[in-house]
Structure 1
Amino acid sequence: MNRTTAFFFDELSLWHSAGAHALTLPVGGWVQPPASSGHAESPETKRRLKSLLDVSGLSRHLQQHSAVPATDEDLRRVHGADYLQRFKALSDAGGGELGPQAPIGPGSYEIARLSAGLAIAAVDAVLSGQVENAYSLSRPPGHHCLADGAMGFCFLANIAIAIEAAKARRGLGKVAVIDWDVHHGNGTQSIFETRGDVLTISLHQDGCYPPGYSGEQDRGRGAGLGANINIPLPPGSGHEAYLHAMERIVVPALERFEPELIIVACGYDANAVDPLA
């Protein structure tokens, strides 16, 4: 095995636009336009990460790749045809509100397919033995997206799509998803909650998003009972709280489950200065 790290990125993924917003409020009426687009899910935070990789010199040590967009078949393993048609139609018409806190702009459908394709390629690179691990800078994000609807800046369930593609193409068995985004990974949980072959673990701020949700009682259903773990943390929890949760809950759960692959939903918004938590 070539024990290196791959970085999957495409500049086009940063061209998805939610339209003019002030944080999460659409501009208009009494909402003043900010100096830039102003939406909380900004391409600049992702571009900043890529810039830091480049100026630090770390990029030279990574295998850097783009990817092809997810195919219709890839998308339909997770999402219903009616939802995909509605998403494409709204995108083709110039954009609008696809779901709760889920505004899109022109071309967002094609960019979201590319975002999912980056995740598929990252998983495939690891499973094929090309690299030991991989990072996909996927935008738009995906962990709030349900099988039949957009939500919370998320329009396609990138991780779920990548998992299902790997199962179909490579016979992948058990997978664990660790989501340490400050918001609950409700879309990923919903898609896999009746499945025993995918362990979903979410560490998130208690009651933050979806609004009021904690989830400590939700353990999965049917064949998936016990394969879903939620760890709601109080607002203000810091480094030690995350370490404690990882050491006492997450790592033992992974050891019991023995996954063939671990995927991290690597949201950075648990940062203390994030405006949405």
Structure 2
Amino acid sequence: MKTLFVTHESGLHHEMGPGHPERPERLRAIERGLEEARFALLARVSAPRAESVALQRVHPQSYLEALEQAAPREGYAALDSDTLMCPDTIEAVWRAAGGAVAAVDEVMSGRADNAFVAARPPGHHAGARNPMGFCFVNNVAVAARHAQAAHGAERVAIVDFDVHHGNGTQEIFWSDETALFCSTHQAPFYPGTGGRNETGAHDNIVNAPLFAGSTGDVFREALDDRILPRLRAFAPDLILVSAGFDAHERDPLGGLRLREVDFGDATKRLMEIADKRCGGRIVSMLEGGYDVDALSRCVSAHVLALMGG
């Protein structure tokens, strides 16, 4: 099984100030973990810059131009209380989205079986016209629209297991019957969305909120009862994953109690459905995860599962 790892050094230069949890050390920890011998066969490529046409399938050109204009020449520019830009942020944003597009190209063309995109900044809180929650461009949405426009994917499913609900992704696909968005997340919690009653205009949104303190058993039950049956029935041409690892028990920004084995198990369950419904095609993108040691172990478990380990 050929698994592709996509990243870019620009993600090491984007930073939002001293003490900010979404920091470059996250990528460094991931890269260290994937240097182990068991990942020797992992194919590795550098993320290209996203082209405007790919970004504009999700975000209006006026919004993209406003992001570029907001970028500071020095210091920081705050777009909201916890989402800041430094001079290197824009390059990282374009490369994160470009990595998502490149991964879709490789998987949809059959040159790779699946892929993991380790890029910063994350994306699932970004709406079509607004940054939020450390996010500027919605990378998973860009990937979905690219799969549809460039590769003829008729039905794309997105599974989000970040501890925070992917409100931006839900907003973007709310009225789109060609996309299924499924999310497990802590609730009540930031950003305040993701109730079970939020089902989309075409019953294409599936939320499985988890109470604080929920362990892996509760997470697996949510997958088995709410997420996986809908995913099987939807029969997507591609499964995208918003892979947030801040549901880990050590994470400082969440209150769930998952362990790395839970993320590996969830990945294998998604792969089983992908094998039966869409030729094994999965593209996963990094979202949250702010305890760097836990993040490294969780990503390793996730990628090892993608590799068939």
TM-score by length of structure 1 reads: 0.88
Per the TM alignment, residue 191 of structure 1 is displaced from its structure 2 partner at its CA by: 0.5
Q: 2:17 matched to 1:4?
A: no
Q: 1:132 aligns with which of 96, 113, 130?
A: 113
Per the TM alignment, residue 138 of structure 1 is displaced from its structure 2 partner at its CA by: 1.8
Per the TM alignment, residue 101 of structure 1 is displaced from its structure 2 partner at its CA by: 2.3
SS in 2 for 1:98: strand
Distance 1:118 1:199, change over 3 A: same
Partners of 2:73 and 2:13 in 1: CA distance:
17
Per the TM alignment, residue 92 of structure 1 is displaced from its structure 2 partner at its CA by: 4.4
User: RMSD between aligned alpha carbons?
Assistant: 1.3
Q: 2:120 matched to 1:143?
A: no
Q: 1:218 aligns with which of 198, 217, 222?
A: 198
Distance 1:203 1:140, change over 3 A: same
1:116-131 alignment runs, 5 A limit: 116-131=97-112
In the other structure, the counterpart of 1:153 is: 134
Unaligned runs of 5+ in 1: 20-36
Per the TM alignment, residue 50 of structure 1 is displaced from its structure 2 partner at its CA by: 1.2
In the other structure, the counterpart of 1:15 is: 13
In the other structure, the counterpart of 2:158 is: 177
Partners of 2:81 and 2:92 in 1: CA distance:
19
Name the stretch that deviates more: 164-173 or 259-268.
164-173
SS in 1 for 2:171: helix
8 Å Cα contact 1:13-1:139 kept in structure 2:
yes
SS in 2 for 1:265: strand
8 Å Cα contact 1:144-1:188 kept in structure 2:
yes
User: Sequence identity of aligned pairs in percent?
Assistant: 39
Distance 1:114 1:160, change over 3 A: same
In the other structure, the counterpart of 2:279 is: none
The amino acid that maps onto 1:58 is R
TM-score by length of structure 2 reads: 0.79
In the other structure, the counterpart of 1:272 is: 249
The amino acid that maps onto 2:20 is H
Partners of 1:198 and 1:130 in 2: CA distance:
24
Distance 1:196 1:100, change over 3 A: farther
Unaligned runs of 5+ in 2: 255-309
8 Å Cα contact 1:176-1:261 kept in structure 2:
yes
In the other structure, the counterpart of 1:259 is: 236
In the other structure, the counterpart of 1:32 is: none
